[in-house]
Amino acid sequence: MLVEDLERVLDDLAPHVLTERWDTTGLLVGRRGTEVSKVIVSLDLSEEVVVEAVTGGFQAVVTHHPLLFTPLRRVTDADRRGILVSQLIAADVAYFAAHTNLDGAAGGLCDLVAHELGLLDLHPLVRADAGWKKFVGFVPSDAVERISRAVFAAGAGRIGEYRDCAYAGCGEGTFVPGPAATPHVGSSGRRERVVEVRFETVVPAQSLAPVVDAYLDAHPYEEPAFDVYPIDDVLTRGGQGRVGSTRDATSLVSLAETAAEAFGLSEVTYAGDGERMVDRVAVVTGSGGSLMEVAAGRADVFVTGDLHYHDAERAADLGLDVIVLPHGRLEAWAMRRWTETLDAALRVWSVTAEFSTRGRSRWHTVRAVAGMRSEPPGSVDEVARLFDLEQATEQEPPGTVGAAPHESVAAIDDGPPLFVLRTDGGSRGNPGPSAIGVVLEDDQGTVLEEIGVCIGTATSNQAEYQALITGLETAVDRGVRRLRILADSELLVRQMRQEYKVRNAGLKELYLQARTLVRRFDRVEIKHVPREENVAADSLVNRALDGLL
Ligand SMILES: [Zn+2]
């Protein structure tokens, strides 16, 4: 494919018409005639990405944030942007930006983020101008087919996923050919009345000239009649931001946690009453502060990538809670995901799209070290705390919730007694007949509860989660505040500690259920133990499966 073909594919995925007035998108550097076989995608254009493109044999780079956002007055090696542009030109690498047009596109970044949050029934927060003209032609009925084909081929009649859209109605056309005319119908000086079809369709403003040309070429009349009308049409599926509903009402804090989880964020801030139940959610990737007023009344929560501190008060005045997901992290996630869309669209050309492995945000995060003890990474045999519910979230908004465990470890010698929960789940067949084993002990090691039951057909991982959930519920019922969980499933332990992602759809629900239960304790620890140290729970599973319980 050539750069100009890539330009068309990108315009389909991120239509230029969705670009905000202040923004710069599309082909920013490069020659349209250059051959492309590999495309690299990144959030920003940095030195590292240019090096990766050039050394990795990529002929085109697509970034979300445009390098040439503000005017570039000279291209020299005296400044960073000049150097990057020179390098791209020297290596004949084309450079595209897909920014606000990609945020707002159907299947673009806002849609990807909204879907990942589980939002349904999505609509743009602000619908985009379609940038269309209405084209109306008056056509003899036997020429309608030919003319419509010609104008459609020139770019008319496309609405969303539909093409060749038009409306036609019959009427009567009248005319008197002049003395010098050579009419297709009738003769000079005689009033003519003919049946004509009023054929109307929409045309993107930039395609108007070729459409008019095509119409005139295909029309049999010497002087074809046509009108072009300005219209205030809006796109139904594209535009800034999205607003949609959660499947069920959820508390603000658990929506924030879901977001942390979904986008792998260690920290998510929110403002509002964490316990407030919400179900209408507006999403604006990037810096969405300017759209808060538009979201007021249509959403309970406004989710965006960047807000100023005092925007929390503005939001409160508008009746909105807000959740802020770090701008760069969120958009990097979304661009990575969108790269799959681009790659699929390029497949017919045998061209691939890959997400940059070297692109890095200029922003970095560090955590305070003093007074904190962190778990050595990957040491599954150490007891790791899951949650510490003395979270600021409950006390003063704006709060912070995290997907990763808090790193500060408070002494656990004081406070309520530490109970021990041993859990195991097993399946004969995977999936197959399954059972769970749960043992709850008090801080003296006295067994308070033993549960061994069959749970029907499940995978062994599902059974592990079911065991954990049953154990947590049992502990909640007994008023346990602090709990140490011992389990022999490394997957379960690592997922609960958020060292592993939960990708399996069949586990996600169970995982979230377990996470929700965990929040009902002051402190929960989870530890991986070898199977031979989990005999108490393991034997309950086997006895249940053997039909002995
Ligand atoms: Zn951005």
Where are the chain's structural domains?
Answer: 3-101+332-355, 109-127+238-325, 131-232, 384-545
| C-alpha of residue 346 to centroid of ligand 1, in Å | 24
* Cα–Cα distance measured from residue 471 to residue 207, given in angstroms and rounded to the nearest whole number: 65
| C-alpha of residue 365 to centroid of ligand 1, in Å | 17
Chain-centre distance for alpha carbon 484: 36
> Are residues 40 and 77 in contact, defined by beta-carbon separation less than 8 angstroms?
no
With a pLDDT cut of 90, the percent of the chain lying above it is 63
* Cα–Cα distance measured from residue 169 to residue 164, given in angstroms and rounded to the nearest whole number: 16
DSSP structural state of residue 289: G
Least confident span in 169-173, 235-239, 481-485, 536-540: 235-239
Residue 376 scores a pLDDT above 50? no
Burial class of residue 524 (count of CB atoms within 10 Å of its CB; 0-12, 13-18, 19+): buried
Least confident span in 15-19, 42-46, 190-194, 499-503: 499-503
Which pLDDT belongs to residue 389? 35
| C-alpha of residue 311 to centroid of ligand 1, in Å | 18
> Mean pLDDT throughout 27-52?
94
| C-alpha of residue 541 to centroid of ligand 1, in Å | 50
| C-alpha of residue 113 to centroid of ligand 1, in Å | 13
> Mean pLDDT throughout 516-539?
89
List 95's β-bridge partners, or say none: 29, 61
Which pLDDT belongs to residue 400? 57
| C-alpha of residue 72 to centroid of ligand 1, in Å | 20
Taking the CA atoms of residue 465, residue 467, residue 473 and residue 476 in that order, the dihedral angle to the nearest 10 degrees is -100
Band the pLDDT of 382: cuts 50, 70, 90: very low
List 338's β-bridge partners, or say none: none
**Number of other residues whose CB lies within 10 A of the CB of residue 281:** 26
Residue 529 scores a pLDDT above 60? yes
* Cα–Cα distance measured from residue 139 to residue 352, given in angstroms and rounded to the nearest whole number: 45
Q: Please name the fold of domain 384-545.
A: Nucleotidyltransferase; domain 5 (3.30.420)
Angle, in degrees to the nearest 10, between helices 505-518 and 252-262: 130
> Greater confidence, 326 or 366?
326
SS3 96: strand
pTM comes to 0.61
Q: Please name the fold of domain 3-101+332-355.
A: 3.40.1390
| C-alpha of residue 41 to centroid of ligand 1, in Å | 14
* Cα–Cα distance measured from residue 3 to residue 68, given in angstroms and rounded to the nearest whole number: 19
| C-alpha of residue 108 to centroid of ligand 1, in Å | 13
Band the pLDDT of 380: cuts 50, 70, 90: very low
| C-alpha of residue 326 to centroid of ligand 1, in Å | 10
Which pLDDT belongs to residue 536? 92
Out of 3.30.2270.10, 3.40.50.360, 3.30.750.200, 3.30.70.120, which CATH number does the structure's domain 131-232 have?
Answer: 3.30.70.120
Band the pLDDT of 368: cuts 50, 70, 90: low
Per-residue tokens: 217: 């070429």
| C-alpha of residue 305 to centroid of ligand 1, in Å | 8
| C-alpha of residue 31 to centroid of ligand 1, in Å | 26
| C-alpha of residue 102 to centroid of ligand 1, in Å | 11
Taking the CA atoms of residue 138, residue 144, residue 146 and residue 147 in that order, the dihedral angle to the nearest 10 degrees is 30
DSSP structural state of residue 1: -
| C-alpha of residue 230 to centroid of ligand 1, in Å | 33
> Are residues 488 and 464 in contact, defined by beta-carbon separation less than 8 angstroms?
no
| pLDDT tens-digit series, residues 476-488 | 888 899 999 999 9
DSSP structural state of residue 375: P
> Are residues 245 and 114 in contact, defined by beta-carbon separation less than 8 angstroms?
no
| C-alpha of residue 111 to centroid of ligand 1, in Å | 15
| Kind of pairing between the strands at 384-388 and 523-528 | antiparallel
Per-residue tokens: 465: 């989660």
| pLDDT tens-digit series, residues 435-478 | 999 999 998 889 999 999 999 899 999 999 999 999 999 998 88
> Are residues 100 and 66 in contact, defined by beta-carbon separation less than 8 angstroms?
no
Which residue has 């701008």 as its token pair? 327
| C-alpha of residue 68 to centroid of ligand 1, in Å | 14
With a pLDDT cut of 70, the percent of the chain lying above it is 91
Band the pLDDT of 404: cuts 50, 70, 90: very low
> Are residues 43 and 64 in contact, defined by beta-carbon separation less than 8 angstroms?
yes
> Greater confidence, 92 or 408?
92
Per-residue tokens: 201: 């369709």
Residue 170 scores a pLDDT above 90? yes
Which pLDDT belongs to residue 375? 41
Which pLDDT belongs to residue 72? 82
| C-alpha of residue 286 to centroid of ligand 1, in Å | 4
| C-alpha of residue 325 to centroid of ligand 1, in Å | 12
**Number of other residues whose CB lies within 10 A of the CB of residue 493:** 24
Per-residue tokens: 214: 């095509």
Band the pLDDT of 430: cuts 50, 70, 90: confident
Residue 267 scores a pLDDT above 70? yes
Angle, in degrees to the nearest 10, between helices 327-346 and 109-116: 110
Which pLDDT belongs to residue 199? 96
Which residue has 């059974």 as its token pair? 463
List 436's β-bridge partners, or say none: 425, 453
Helix, strand, coil percentages, rounded to 5, for the chain: 30, 30, 35
**Number of other residues whose CB lies within 10 A of the CB of residue 371:** 7
What's the sign of the alpha-carbon dihedral 35, 38, 41, 45? negative
Chain-centre distance for alpha carbon 535: 44
| C-alpha of residue 160 to centroid of ligand 1, in Å | 25
| C-alpha of residue 285 to centroid of ligand 1, in Å | 7
Chain-centre distance for alpha carbon 258: 13
* Cα–Cα distance measured from residue 499 to residue 377, given in angstroms and rounded to the nearest whole number: 9
| C-alpha of residue 44 to centroid of ligand 1, in Å | 9
Amino acid at 487: A
| C-alpha of residue 116 to centroid of ligand 1, in Å | 18
| C-alpha of residue 360 to centroid of ligand 1, in Å | 13
Residue 171 scores a pLDDT above 90? yes
* Cα–Cα distance measured from residue 121 to residue 244, given in angstroms and rounded to the nearest whole number: 5
Band the pLDDT of 115: cuts 50, 70, 90: very high
| pLDDT tens-digit series, residues 122-144 | 999 998 887 889 999 999 999 99
> Mean pLDDT throughout 91-118?
95
| C-alpha of residue 287 to centroid of ligand 1, in Å | 7
What average pLDDT is seen over the chain?
87
Residue 513 scores a pLDDT above 70? yes
| C-alpha of residue 131 to centroid of ligand 1, in Å | 24
> Are residues 470 and 451 in contact, defined by beta-carbon separation less than 8 angstroms?
yes
Chain-centre distance for alpha carbon 1: 28
Burial class of residue 481 (count of CB atoms within 10 Å of its CB; 0-12, 13-18, 19+): middle
| C-alpha of residue 262 to centroid of ligand 1, in Å | 18
* Cα–Cα distance measured from residue 261 to residue 381, given in angstroms and rounded to the nearest whole number: 24
> Mean pLDDT throughout 24-45?
95
Whether 109-127+238-325 and 131-232 share one fold: the answer is no
Residue 393 scores a pLDDT above 50? no
Which pLDDT belongs to residue 369? 56
If phi > 0 it is left, if psi is from -120 to 50 it is alpha, else beta; for residue 415 that is left
Out of 3.40.1390.30, 3.90.180.10, 2.40.30.10, 3.40.50.300, which CATH number does the structure's domain 109-127+238-325 have?
Answer: 3.40.1390.30
| C-alpha of residue 43 to centroid of ligand 1, in Å | 8
Band the pLDDT of 372: cuts 50, 70, 90: very low
What's the sign of the alpha-carbon dihedral 313, 316, 320, 321? positive
126 contacts: CB under 8 Å, gap ≥ 6: 239, 240, 241, 291, 294
Angle, in degrees to the nearest 10, between helices 460-477 and 535-545: 110
| C-alpha of residue 119 to centroid of ligand 1, in Å | 21
| pLDDT tens-digit series, residues 418-429 | 899 999 999 998
| pLDDT tens-digit series, residues 151-160 | 999 999 988 7
Residue 384 scores a pLDDT above 60? no
| C-alpha of residue 284 to centroid of ligand 1, in Å | 10
